Amino acid sequence: MTTAESKDRVRVAFVGNPNTGKTSIYNSLTGARGKVANYPGITVERRSATIQRKGRTYDIVDLPGCYSLVARSVDEKITHDELSGHTASRPDVIIAVVSATQLARQLYLTLQLLELQRPLIVALNMMDLAEKDGVEVDVDALSQALGVRVIPVVAVDGSGLERLFVAADQALTGHPLLALAPNDAKAVAGVQTALRAAAKPASVGDALWLMTSVDSADAKEAELCRDALDAAQRLTAIHPDPMRPSDLKRRIIAARYKEIDRILANAVTSKVSSRGPDESKIDAVLTHPVWGLLCFAIAMLVLFQAVFTWSDPLIGWVEAGVSAVAVSVTKVLPSGLVQSMIVDGLIPGIGNVLVFLPQIIILFLAISLLEDSGYMARVAFILDRLMRSVGLSGQSFVPLMSSFACAIPGVMAARTIPTHRDRMVTIAIAPLMSCSARLPVYTLVIGAVFSTSEPVLGILSVPGLIITGMYFTGIAAAFFVAKVLKGLTLQGSAPPLLLEFPRYRRPRVRDVARVLADRCWIFITQTGRVIIVLSILLWGAMTWPNSPLSSSEKASIEQHALTKGTDVDIALARAEEKHRLINSAAGQAGLFIEPIIEPLGFDWKLGIGLIGSFAAREVLVSTLGQVYGTGSSSDEESPLLRQAMLSDIDPATGKPRFTPLVGLSLMVFFAIAMQCLSTFAVVRKETNSWTWPLTMLLGYNALAWLASFATYQIGTALGWG
């Protein structure tokens, strides 16, 4: 049966285990035409492309790599849903990608695909590697045994890809190769009948999927197949009790592997062990408890350096570019509301998005290289024990570590974590890793109130201790939150550590470039949207109503400046800024929240600062500059700003408002609070919900309030005030 031949538009699905080079094949075939979209309601992305070939249109989708169609993880559920037509329409042809070096295991999924009784071809990848290993595959014998065409390909140099299309056009329908016991076969047939009656896909594979997914099928799915499920339960006496061993499931799994062994006995000969001695030697070092950890530490050092420091010049270019655009707009547009909105609101908003690209590119470049080379699996092996003891997975390490540079690429990197639960926890605690944007805040406070402190024990500098303390505060909060999350909301027992060590291979430039292009594009269009909107809203709140100084106020400032000998224009400009900010919505909000933040030791000026720093933490500095009247261009080292803060006297008590304890309280607040609208936006995108980011925003700010409160009150009680 060659159903694909007659159609003009053919839907093709690529399915396979992870590490088969499936995505390389997909990239080679689709190139720049691939697009990425969201599956509704979940965080997995859908990669698809439409290409033309010899007058025919092919809609190709690259399904997530999975080991089985039984729905235990989101990836497996999606693959099954796409193949049975629950999401888009069913694919016309399935291309099962397997690696010639791993047939003994990878054919398992292929057998499941054959049971779906749809047109299928097998792309046998990595033939070059197999040859090197001394593994000989008799492609014809394999083809005969499987009952479908097998096309050898070598994805890395593109050979065989054209033949894939020809074969896909003439794909034969698969048939199940499973030898079932008579009782089981009867049960399966019964379920198929029930499915047919319910007008659902009723292949052997569909029946088996239902029968073996009973424990893990979600409620809605079960509802849709109620009749078939009942039939399955009646016939096989399966109870949906996850604790009881489900014999049928295991009988089927064993039967499939028996079939695989039988097929391979005829079709594959291997003369040597399938892994070269070189790879084993490399693994011996890279997974060694001491040397492996050392190599990893060095790799991480380089990665961190790259994301933290080497990105600086690139970020500088982006910022310069944005400024240049802003300047040219001021020349073109007449000054007024529209110009201000664009130059002070929209353009910085866009800049706020673009400025993250250098770090995103660098981080994902590093991650792609680590993953595609096969090293990441080794990392998971080394780190697993350590990370599990704190409730995280080995793959959480890189995203969390890069969050010390910036949480935005760190949260994005969490998508490499395979288990949903670990991914969510990692995303949730990433903002608590003290990011580099907090440093200007720490620098400002330490410079103002801690710079003259005596070294502790004569050698440990107070600033150093404090900064270290702030980092540990963030990490401690992260442990706490991870524990709470695991206990409370995220269901499911700890996922098992079960992963495959892929062969070491050289990453392909094209595949890495694809990842970078996808991530940047998605970031700009999806996360960027939210960042720009929030930036503009915040700018609006900090500007309107745009109340100017009265003429008498202006006169007195001019007078004051003249007597002190300072520049009149600068003094006027700063006073204008300050007046506008204090009378803006954000400014009034700062005054409004003063009673709430007073127990933390903060006054309304810091209140406005807190609101302004929602744009980005380091904006606290320029906001305080505005509020204290030293100008929004003040930076964290500015002596003027420090002086202004220190000489601010509380009229009620006559004492300085900004004491070391207040400074400490402020830093503790910043260490924990979620105060970055870009982080908010990226969490929203990566979790595909508003619940997570909103909960984090409220939760972390509440936690920060408590920590700050404790710091200030305890400190006051101890007399440190």
Partner 1 sequence: MTLDQLDVGKSAAVVSIGPGGHGDRLMEMGLIPGTQVRIIRRGAWHGPLQVSLRGAIICIGANEAKTVTIGALNTHDDS
Q: Which of 498, 509, 652, 718 binds partner 1 (CB under 8 A)?
A: 498
Q: Which of 113, 151, 167, 382 binds partner 1 (CB under 8 A)?
A: 382
Radius of gyration of the chain (CA): 31
Confirm if 248 and 184 have CB atoms less than 8 A apart.
yes
Q: Which of 287/626 has CB closer to partner 1? A: 287
Which range, of 56-64, 80-88, 218-226, 499-507, touches partner 1 by CB under 8 A?
Answer: 499-507
- Minimal distance, residue 93 CB to partner 1, in Å: 25
| Residue 496 touching partner 1 (CB under 8 A) | yes
Comparing C-alpha atoms, which of 408, 692, 618, 643 is closest to residue 527?
Answer: 408
| Residue 380 touching partner 1 (CB under 8 A) | yes
- Minimal distance, residue 487 CB to partner 1, in Å: 19
Q: Which of 23, 24, 30, 68 binds partner 1 (CB under 8 A)?
A: 68
Q: Which of 69/448 has CB closer to partner 1? A: 69
Which range, of 198-206, 241-249, 611-619, 713-721, touches partner 1 by CB under 8 A?
Answer: 241-249
Which range, of 142-150, 152-160, 365-373, 374-382, touches partner 1 by CB under 8 A?
Answer: 374-382
Q: Which of 37/254 has CB closer to partner 1? A: 254
Assigned token pair, 328: 């040219």
Q: How many Cβ atoms are within 10 Å of 104's Cβ, its own excluded? A: 15
| Residue 499 touching partner 1 (CB under 8 A) | yes
| Residue 70 touching partner 1 (CB under 8 A) | yes
- Residues in Cβ contact with 18 at an 8 Å cutoff, skipping those fewer than 6 apart: 65, 66, 67, 500, 502
| Residue 261 touching partner 1 (CB under 8 A) | yes
- Minimal distance, residue 127 CB to partner 1, in Å: 15
Q: What string of DSSP letters covers 377-435?
A: HHHHHHHHHHHHHTT--GGGHHHHHHTTT-HHHHHHHGGG--SHHHHHHHHHHGGGS--
- CA dist 57 and 52 (Å) reads 5
- Minimal distance, residue 17 CB to partner 1, in Å: 10
- Residue with tokens 């998005």, as numbered in its chain: 353
- Minimal distance, residue 53 CB to partner 1, in Å: 34
Q: Which of 497, 562, 568, 714 binds partner 1 (CB under 8 A)?
A: 497
- Minimal distance, residue 275 CB to partner 1, in Å: 7
Q: Which of 243, 509, 652, 717 binds partner 1 (CB under 8 A)?
A: 243
| Residue 67 touching partner 1 (CB under 8 A) | yes
- CA dist 300 and 294 (Å) reads 10
- CA dist 26 and 53 (Å) reads 15
Contacts 24+ apart (CB under 8 A), 317-326: 318/351, 318/354, 318/355, 318/357, 318/358, 319/351, 319/355, 321/354, 322/347, 322/348, 322/350, 322/351, 322/354, 322/355
Q: Which of 382/627 has CB closer to partner 1? A: 382
| Residue 500 touching partner 1 (CB under 8 A) | yes
Comparing C-alpha atoms, which of 61, 27, 59 is closest to residue 45?
Answer: 61
Residue type, 453: S
Which range, of 373-381, 414-422, 433-441, 504-512, touches partner 1 by CB under 8 A?
Answer: 373-381
Which range, of 37-45, 146-154, 220-228, 254-262, touches partner 1 by CB under 8 A?
Answer: 254-262
Q: Which of 40, 245, 336, 654 binds partner 1 (CB under 8 A)?
A: 245
Tell me the per-residue interface mask from 81 to 110 with partner 1, x by CB under 8 A, - otherwise. --------------------xxxxx--x--
Q: Which of 254, 272, 390, 484 binds partner 1 (CB under 8 A)?
A: 254
Confirm if 675 and 636 have CB atoms less than 8 A apart.
no
Assigned token pair, 487: 């206990």
Size of the site for partner 1 (CB under 8 A): 44
- Minimal distance, residue 242 CB to partner 1, in Å: 6
- Minimal distance, residue 115 CB to partner 1, in Å: 14
Comparing C-alpha atoms, which of 679, 657, 571, 660 is closest to residue 607?
Answer: 657
Q: Which of 250, 262, 510, 529 binds partner 1 (CB under 8 A)?
A: 250
Q: Which of 308, 471, 479, 501 binds partner 1 (CB under 8 A)?
A: 501
Comparing C-alpha atoms, which of 548, 575, 546, 547 is closest to residue 559?
Answer: 575
Q: Which of 53, 56, 163, 249 binds partner 1 (CB under 8 A)?
A: 249
Which range, of 55-63, 352-360, 380-388, 667-675, touches partner 1 by CB under 8 A?
Answer: 380-388
Q: Which of 179/497 has CB closer to partner 1? A: 497
The helix or strand, by DSSP H or E, that contains position 561, with its residue range, turns out to be helix 551-564
Tell me the per-residue interface mask from 197 to 216 with partner 1, x by CB under 8 A, - otherwise. ------------------xx
Confirm if 394 and 383 have CB atoms less than 8 A apart.
yes
Tell me the per-residue interface mask from 25 to 64 with partner 1, x by CB under 8 A, - otherwise. ----------------------------------------
Assigned token pair, 353: 């998005």
Confirm if 377 and 344 have CB atoms less than 8 A apart.
no
* Touching partner 1, residues 274-313 (CB under 8 A): 274-275, 280, 283-284, 287, 289
Residue type, 431: P
- Minimal distance, residue 112 CB to partner 1, in Å: 9
Distance of CA 398 to the CA centre of its chain: 11
- Kindly list the distances between the CA atom of residue 83 and the CA atoms of 109, 123, 623, in Å, as whole numbers in the listed order: 13, 17, 54
Which range, of 167-175, 243-251, 599-607, 707-715, touches partner 1 by CB under 8 A?
Answer: 243-251
Q: Which of 100/673 has CB closer to partner 1? A: 100
Whether residue 545 is preceded by a cis peptide bond, meaning omega within 30 degrees of 0, is: yes
Q: Which of 215/648 has CB closer to partner 1? A: 215
- CA dist 259 and 251 (Å) reads 12
Q: Give the torsion sign (CA, 538, 539, 540, 541).
A: positive
- CA dist 96 and 135 (Å) reads 20
- Minimal distance, residue 141 CB to partner 1, in Å: 18
Which range, of 81-89, 273-281, 362-370, 511-519, touches partner 1 by CB under 8 A?
Answer: 273-281
Which range, of 165-173, 237-245, 338-346, 533-541, touches partner 1 by CB under 8 A?
Answer: 237-245
β-bridge pairing 56-62 and 9-16: parallel
Comparing C-alpha atoms, which of 565, 590, 587 is closest to residue 578?
Answer: 587
* Angle made by CA atoms 260, 263, 268, in degrees to the nearest 5: 110
- Minimal distance, residue 591 CB to partner 1, in Å: 55
- Which residues lie near partner 1 (CB under 8 A)? 67-68, 70, 72, 101-105, 108, 215-216, 242-246, 249-250, 253-254, 257-258, 261, 270, 274-275, 280, 283-284, 287, 289, 377, 380-382, 384-385, 496-501
